[in-house]
């Protein structure tokens, strides 16, 4: 990173989203990133991010990264560290081909180009959130670090292209980039989004709030998860580690907990009781089932583990984190 003793300036693109908000809160609570103090924040998204209360300078920006000049305006702040979180999520990217490519691919490349045209000696650290959707079937039960990305969805394809661009721009010294493939983040707070993976969270979140949840896939569907708390920790760790340790392979899969939907439900039963489980209604959705069928089920993230990335060890822990962080430790309406 290019920060100095006066601290570093941070740009979060996608700051209004769930992970963006939690990352902002964590950065402000810590007041620093690694050994560097936090000098300022720029929070950007397609909708206006919330303005946090803080002593340091915080700018909030409404922008469409794919619009002409938008990326250049953000890079004009010369942030030392950029978190690129913005994306059209999986289900929406599959349903709206043009929008998915415009936001997920064109927006990403325009950001990278804005950094390139800013010229040397400007060379920020860039943390890009990719996805396990870059992998497609057929794949082994457990995917290792050497498995080749071959996505079966538009979203996964857009993320895979972003990974390749990140590696090339990093190789050329334009920025110092790392791409982290997030497992499905669960339990996501708030209202459901258009992600095909949304039900993994809703079948836990809604019953914990005393509400009915719809389950569109069979109980034997297996998937890899990490909590929002772990996701924020991934991002901060990616922002501080020595990226020379990655070599030319700048993208890596994050650790996650591989469980079936049935195992999720059993964890809910253990933590919140039978009444919560009864609020789950099974309603098969062939489109969602087809999309999820093309996703990987488990990872052996040895590179990430060697670099110090960690996630939860049980789904009970993930459920309890949601209760503690979002429900003030209480279950029910």
Residue of 101, 122, 155, 169 marked catalytic: 155
Of the candidate ranges 139-143, 167-171, 227-231, the one whose mean pLDDT is the lowest: 139-143
Please state the three-class secondary structure of the chain as a single string. CCCECCEEEEEEECCCCHHHHHHHHHHHHHCEECCEEEEEEEEEECCCCCCCCCCCEEEEEECCCCCCCHHHHHHCCCCCEEEECCCCCHHHHHHCHHHHHHHHHHHHHHHHHHHHHHCCCCCCEEEEEEEHHHCCCCCCCCECCCCCCCCCCHHHHHHHHHHHHHHHHHHCCCCEEEEEEECEECCCCCCCCCCCCHHHHHHHHHHHCCCCEEECCCCCCEEEEECHHHHHHHHHHHHHCCHHHHCCCCEEECCCEEEEHHHHHHHHHHHHCHHHHCCEEECCCHHHHHHHHCCCCCECCHHHHHCCCCCCCCHHHHHHHHHHHHCCCCCCC
pLDDT for the residue 3:
45
- pLDDT(213) > 90: yes
Going by pLDDT thresholds of 50, 70 and 90, the confidence category of residue 333 is low
Using the predicted structure, report yes or no on whether residue 103 has a pLDDT greater than 90: yes
Whether the per-residue pLDDT at 206 is higher than 80: the answer is yes
What average pLDDT does range 39-58 have in this prediction?
91
| Mean pLDDT, residues 325-333 taken together | 85
pLDDT digits (tens, 9 = 90+) for 240-278: 999 999 999 999 999 999 999 999 999 999 999 999 999
122 is catalytic: no
Confidence at 4, pLDDT banded by 50, 70, 90: very low
Provide the pLDDT for residue 14. Answer: 97
For 186-202, how does the pLDDT look when each residue is reduced to its tens digit (9 = 90+)?
Answer: 999 987 766 778 999 99
């Amino acid at each position: 990173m290019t920060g100095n003793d006066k601290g570093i300036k941070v740009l979060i693109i996608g700051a209004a989203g769930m992970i963006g908000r939690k990352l902002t809160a964590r950065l402000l609570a810590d007041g620093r990133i690694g050994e560097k103090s936090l000098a300022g924040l720029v929070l950007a998204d397609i909708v206006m991010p919330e303005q946090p209360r803080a002593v340091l300078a915080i700018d909030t920006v409404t922008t469409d990264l794919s619009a002409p000049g938008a990326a250049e305006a953000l890079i004009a702040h010369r942030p030392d560290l950029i978190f690129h979180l913005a994306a059209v999520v999986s289900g929406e990217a599959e349903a709206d081909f043009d929008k998915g490519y415009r936001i997920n691919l064109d927006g990403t490349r325009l950001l990278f180009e804005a950094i390139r045209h800013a010229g040397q000696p400007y060379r920020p650290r860039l943390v890009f959130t990719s996805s396990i959707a870059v992998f497609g079937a057929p794949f082994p039960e457990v995917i290792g670090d050497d498995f080749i990305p071959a996505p079966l969805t538009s979203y996964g394809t857009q993320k895979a292209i972003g990974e390749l661009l990140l590696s090339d721009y990093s190789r050329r010294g334009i920025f110092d980039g790392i791409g982290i493939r997030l497992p499905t983040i669960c339990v996501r707070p708030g209202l459901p989004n258009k992600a095909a993976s949304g039900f993994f969270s809703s079948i836990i979140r809604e019953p914990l709030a005393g509400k009915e949840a719809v389950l569109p896939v069979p109980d034997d569907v297996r998937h890899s998860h990490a909590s929002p708390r772990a996701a924020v920790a991934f991002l901060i760790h990616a922002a501080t580690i020595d990226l020379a340790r990655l070599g030319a392979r700048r993208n890596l899969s994050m650790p996650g907990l591989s469980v079936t939907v049935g195992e999720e439900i059993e964890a809910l039963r253990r933590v919140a009781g039978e009444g919560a489980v009864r609020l789950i209604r099974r309603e098969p959705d062939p489109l969602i089932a087809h999309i999820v069928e093309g996703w990987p089920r488990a990872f052996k993230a040895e590179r990430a583990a060697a670099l110090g990335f960690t996630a939860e060890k049980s789904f009970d822990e993930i459920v309890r984190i949601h209760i503690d962080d979002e429900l003030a430790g209480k279950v029910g309406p």
